[in-house]
Amino acid sequence: MKKWRSYNSELKNDSYDAIIIGSGIGGLCSAALLGLKGKRVLVLEKHFKIGGWTHTFKRKNYEWDVGIHYIGQVNRARSPIRKLFDIISDGQLQWSAMDANYDRIIFPDRSYDFIAPRERFVESMISYFPKEESAILKYMTLLDSVAKSSRSYFSQKALTGISDRISYPFMTRKFFKHSDKTTLEVLSSLTKDKRLIGVLTGQWGDHGLPPSRSSFAMHAFVARHYLNGGNYPRGTSRRIGETISDTIEKNGGSLYVNAPVSSIKIHRNKAIGVEMEDGAIIRSKCVISNAGIFNTMERLLDKNLEPKAVDRLKDIKQTKSYICLHLGLDRSAKDLGLKNTNLWVYPHYDHDRAVQDYIDDPENDFPVVYVSFPSAKDESWIEKNPNSSTVEAITLSRMQWFKKWEHLEWKKRGSDYEDLKEKLSNRILDVVTKQVEGIKGHIDYQELSTPLTVRDLANYNRGEMYGIDHSPKRFRQRWLRPQSDMKDLYFVGQDITTVGVSSALFSGLLTASTVLGEDLSKLLRE
């Protein structure tokens, strides 16, 4: 496991071409690309590990990811995602392919398998719903239409000045026809079968909004992303940050952990560097914030925000918070019969009602429990840990349920906090063991993360799962782009594109392109 350098105030004596605040995948990607173009970059990470949602944590001999559970399309060497990962990791990042059955959608009456490749997915859906073949084929066509129209929508984000003003209506019009509608609106226009709608939207947890609230564009991105199968980083997800940071350092860049930025320094509407929490000022030609839009606007820029910028935040919302149960098992995944198929467990087919029932009364059934088996997905796990395995189980939560403990330190929140965690853990465990009975009697370690954990370790103040939610209104926010209103201040990360590792990855490409005034997507065509 790579060791990271901790921040020291001597950095104030240096200057840089770019300072990147935060080391999520978007920030790392932009830093690596700028470094490859000869720019001197500095990455400052508040946490004690590099990687954002791609880092891992260990307890005893177990290791869990905190954000990555599977990635699509990297199994194809010529796919844009794979090529971009290869560029910024210098080809060092390797992938383990999941089984063809990458997701299983589970309801009380039966389960439905999502199977790669695309042709088998279509065949399986038609076998489950033979009377809905026409609706299913139309649905697949719509997924492709969203993907095609999104290319110009996202490319437009890298444009500035007059090019932006002239091209915006033309490059976004087709995409908005899809993004302006909710997932439920679109699917209800294709079929009246509530079960089919419930199944096709069975991955809604991958973006955090149920069908009546999510943009169909967001649904389409997720569904289409996995049609050719899921993959997992060989050596766990921390290898993403480790390999990309190697590229950054090889090209003269620097990365520091335990490096909390207190504010972005603005002079005459121009970013000139950052001020650290210890008061040190580090100067640079530009600043790129990978801290999330709300963190950047409310914390890092508060004193420099114009009223119109403050008003913009009223038009967007954070995604829901969540809890995650991490299990360490004293047998290998093979010995326990654990597959690498993700499980999505639901109380019934109406996802919106399930979410609302849970919000109204948290004693109601969990609206979703997502179960992942990271040690079964990673081909290298058994080489290092031959007699152990891991499981993760995630469901929704609300920050307000934990508000009474928000000012208390980790491990010092008292017995009532621990009692609540135990109660929630047992409820989640009941769901998991009904689906995976083989783990009973083999749980050697368990730990529950709460929204407070997310706040403390990922710096999401409200414990949110995915940054900004992906409602139709979200995609209409023209200002969510790399170039801010201030000169030499840029944004990067999933808030600029969409949720997920691949989207955050491409935000790095967009932001680096904007900074350089050069279309770096050409690298993917070479």
CA neighbor of 41 nearest in space, from 238, 241, 256: 256
pLDDT given at position 265: 95
Residue 525 pLDDT: 85
Q: What is the pLDDT of residue 217?
A: 97
Q: Are residues 395 and 511 in the same domain?
A: no
Please name which of 459, 472, 514 lies closest in space to residue 55, comparing C-alpha atoms. 459
The residue from 432, 458, 484 where one domain ends is 458
Residue 4 lies in a domain: no
In this structure, the answer to whether residues 304 and 327 fall within a common structural domain is no
87 and 133 inside one domain? no
Length of the chain: 526
pLDDT band at 313 (very low <50, low <70, confident <90, very high): confident
Structure tokens that stand for 37 in this block: 């173009």
Inform me whether the pLDDT recorded for 236 exceeds 80. Answer: yes
The percent of residues above 70 in pLDDT, for the chain, comes to 100
| Residue 14 covered by a domain | yes
SS3 35: helix
Beta bridge partners of 318: 468
Write down the pLDDT at residue 92. Answer: 96
In degrees rounded to 5, what are phi and psi of residue 38?
A: 90, 10
Nearest to 219 by CA among 198, 203, 196: 203
Residues 104 and 222 in one domain: yes
Q: Which residues span the domain enclosing 383?
A: 320-338+373-458
Establish if 366 belongs to a structural domain. Answer: no
For residues 124 and 215, state if they share a domain: yes
Query: Taking 80 as the threshold, does the pLDDT of residue 193 lie above it?
Result: yes
pLDDT tens profile 327-352: 999 999 999 999 999 999 999 999 99
Same domain, 478 and 419: no
Residue bearing tokens 């992906």: 470
Band of pLDDT at residue 66, cut at 50, 70 and 90: confident
| Residue 29 in this model has a pLDDT that exceeds 90 | yes
Q: Is residue 447 part of a domain?
A: yes
Q: What is the CATH number of the domain that holds 44?
A: 3.50.50.60
Q: Does position 307 have pLDDT exceeding 80, yes or no? A: no
Q: How far does Cα 488 stand from its chain's mean position?
A: 26
Q: Please state, in angstroms and rounded to a whole number, the distance separating the CA atoms of residues 166 and 170.
A: 8
CA 408: distance to chain centroid? 27
Task: Give the total number of structural domains in the chain.
Answer: 3
Pull the structure tokens for residue 491.
Answer: 């944004």
pLDDT value at 315 more than 90: no
DSSP label at 438? G
Same domain, 445 and 378: yes
Dihedrals phi, psi of 94, to nearest 5 degrees: -115, 160
476: helix, strand or coil: coil
pLDDT in tens, 270-304: 999 999 999 999 999 999 999 999 999 988 997 77
pLDDT in tens, 140-190: 999 999 999 999 999 999 988 888 889 999 999 999 999 999 999 999 999
- Are the C-beta atoms of residues 211 and 184 closer than 8 Å to each other? yes
Each residue's pLDDT tens digit, 470-489: 999 999 999 999 999 999 99
| pLDDT(75) > 80 | yes
**Which of 196, 228, 260 marks a domain boundary?**
228
The predicted pLDDT at position 508 comes to: 97
Are 259 and 305 found together in one domain?
yes
Residue 354 maps to a domain: no
Cα(234)–Cα(215) distance, rounded to whole angstroms? 32
Q: What integer is the mean pLDDT of 379-399?
A: 92
Using the structure block, give the residue that is written with the tokens 């135990």. Answer: 422
- Same structural domain, 324 and 312: no
User: Using one digit for the tens of pLDDT, what is the confidence trace for 86-115?
Assistant: 999 999 999 999 999 999 999 999 999 999
Q: What does the mean pLDDT of the chain come to?
A: 94
Q: Are residues 268 and 182 in the same domain?
A: no
- Statement to judge: residues 215 and 103 lie in one domain: yes
Domain finish residue from 417, 433, 458: 458
Residue 440, classified by CB atoms within 10 Å of its CB into exposed (0-12), middle (13-18) or buried (19+), is: exposed
Residue type, 433: T
| Predicted local confidence at residue 314, as pLDDT | 86
pLDDT at residue 72 in the model: 95
Residue 179 is assigned to a structural domain of this protein: yes
Banded model confidence at residue 251, pLDDT cuts 50, 70, 90: very high
pLDDT value for 12 = 86
- Please identify which residue in the block is written with the tokens 């290319």: 151
Residue 352 lies in a domain: no
Share of the chain above pLDDT 90, in %: 82
200-204, 287-291, 454-458, range with the lowest pLDDT: 454-458
- The backbone torsions φ and ψ at residue 447, rounded to the nearest 5 degrees and listed phi first, read -150, 135
> In sequence order, which ranges of 307-414 are alpha helices (DSSP H)?
307-312, 333-336, 351-360, 374-377, 381-384
- Per-residue pLDDT band for 137 (boundaries 50, 70, 90) equals very high
Assigned domain for 265 exists: yes
| Nearest by Cα to 199 from 122, 98, 125 | 125
pLDDT recorded at residue 526: 75
Is residue 44 domain-shared with residue 167, that is, in the same domain? no
Structure token pair of residue 332: 């290998």
**pLDDT at 500 > cutoff 90:** no
